[in-house]
Amino acid sequence: MLIKNAKVFIDGSFHDLDVRFDEKVITEIGKDLQDDEVIDAEGNELYAGIIDAHCHGGFLRSFGYEKRTAFNGSRDDQVRFLSEKLPETGVTTVFPTLAMDLSSFQEEKEAVQHIRSMRKQLKGADLLKFHFEGTYLTLDRYIEEGGEYPLPTREHSDWLVSDDYSDVGFICVAPEMPGAMEWLDYVSSKGVMPEIGYTKASAEKVIEAADHGLATCSHIFNGYVPMHHRDSSAVAGIMLDDRIKAQITMDGYHVAPAWVKLVIKAKGIENCYGITDLSSVSGLPDGENELPDGTVVVTKDGFNWRTDGHILSGNNTMNQIMYRAHNTVGLSREEVGTLFAENPAKCLKIHDRGKIEVGRKSDFVIMDKDYNVIKTIINGKVFYQK
């Protein structure tokens, strides 16, 4: 199979090249290649299939099977729906993201077990590794009054993942918690990339944590103490230490455009990557949406709000966030391609996909100039076509 007449995104820029592939990997990249089976991209842009490392669900479905989505089918139904729906947005690999609170640890443990049991049945986006968000936290506004949250210990993490770290991508921690440094050493030894978030840590504590394996941050600025010039803050530590890769929500609202550009300038674009942070209520139509459990979600201008004005989540899918990163944040097309189509693999040390390169998985997405998805190819076969 061959893709011709595409603007092929490789190494931060677009190229007039052809890409040959089979049902496993990319086999050849060059000019004027020939094949009996050809996909004509008609001058549109060709990216590697996109990896979303922070996605809770969407379209009133959840990887964690939330109560507010229970009306929309079984766990099987919701996971299968998300795997098949996400390629419409350009995503071919996803890290199912499970957000913790005091009441949900058992539920998230069960979600992990369930997704593991059905992975091989799925036909769409690959549910590659788990992302445990906000697992061990200290930031006051996320803590239930009177709650007793677990400390980061090997025993608790072993229980949460059923002693199996083989498919665990991130576990989030506030590094100022008692025992955090020993915990960082332990989970790093298991191949996990420890993630910082929901923390009151100082910059100095963050850099110390990087010495013990801290590798990425949960959506920088969101879930942290606001920066102040008299305070040494976690965000400052993340920006100073390039061992910590920066997730950024680039929809133009969660992080103001100037701050997005500042992080990229401070850390270098190679140390930053884009995410969606899609929630179960992402994908709703504009207006007041009343869910069967009585929750009212006000959706407008690409975001979801509670009726009291508190933001719940973005409403933008991967391709829509790429559009906003270009048109609202003001990043160049090359910067958008780098941050979303190549850097997730680079920052997360994923070597079998996430870049158009011979030997990597034959996962692709063809988009037009407005980031509308025209075709998504998974394992060498067209999975979605507009």
**pLDDT by residue (tens digit) across 95-150?**
999 987 656 788 899 999 999 999 999 999 999 999 999 999 999 888 877 667 89
**pLDDT by residue (tens digit) across 168-222?**
999 999 999 999 999 999 999 999 999 999 999 999 999 999 999 999 999 999 9
Q: Are residues 18 and 161 in the same domain?
A: no
Q: Are residues 27 and 117 in the same domain?
A: no
Identify the CATH number of the domain in which residue 35 sits. 2.30.40.10
Q: Identify the pLDDT of residue 325.
A: 98
**pLDDT by residue (tens digit) across 216-267?**
999 999 999 999 999 999 999 999 999 999 999 999 999 999 999 999 999 9
Q: Are residues 118 and 245 in the same domain?
A: yes
Residue 85, pLDDT > 70, answer yes
Q: Are residues 290 and 262 in the same domain?
A: yes
Q: Are residues 238 and 325 in the same domain?
A: yes
Q: Identify the pLDDT of residue 148.
A: 73
**pLDDT by residue (tens digit) across 31-53?**
999 999 999 999 999 999 999 99
In the numeric block, the tokens 């992990």 are attached to 112
Residue range 291-301: mean pLDDT, rounded: 90
Q: Is 221 inside any structural domain? A: yes
pTM (two decimals): 0.96
Q: Is 357 inside any structural domain? A: no
Q: Are residues 26 and 117 in the same domain?
A: no
Q: Is 213 inside any structural domain? A: yes
Per-chain mean pLDDT for the chain: 95
Q: Is 311 inside any structural domain? A: yes
Q: Is 24 inside any structural domain? A: yes
| Dihedral angle over CA of 180, 184, 187, 190, nearest 10 | -160
Q: Are residues 172 and 84 in the same domain?
A: yes
Q: Are residues 199 and 76 in the same domain?
A: yes
Q: Identify the pLDDT of residue 57.
A: 96
Q: Are residues 83 and 8 in the same domain?
A: no
Q: Are residues 225 and 261 in the same domain?
A: yes
Q: Is 358 inside any structural domain? A: no
- pLDDT-derived band at 368, boundaries 50, 70, 90: very high
Q: Identify the pLDDT of residue 245.
A: 98
**pLDDT by residue (tens digit) across 138-151?**
998 888 776 678 99
| Percent of the chain clearing pLDDT 70 (strictly above) | 99
Identify the CATH number of the domain in which residue 298 sits. 3.20.20.140
Q: Are residues 19 and 53 in the same domain?
A: no
Q: Is 360 inside any structural domain? A: no
Q: Show the domain range for 270.
A: 49-352
- In the chain, the number of structural domains is 2
Q: Is 361 inside any structural domain? A: no
Q: Are residues 39 and 157 in the same domain?
A: no
- pLDDT-derived band at 336, boundaries 50, 70, 90: very high
Residue 154, pLDDT > 80, answer yes
| Percent of the chain clearing pLDDT 90 (strictly above) | 89
- pLDDT-derived band at 66, boundaries 50, 70, 90: confident
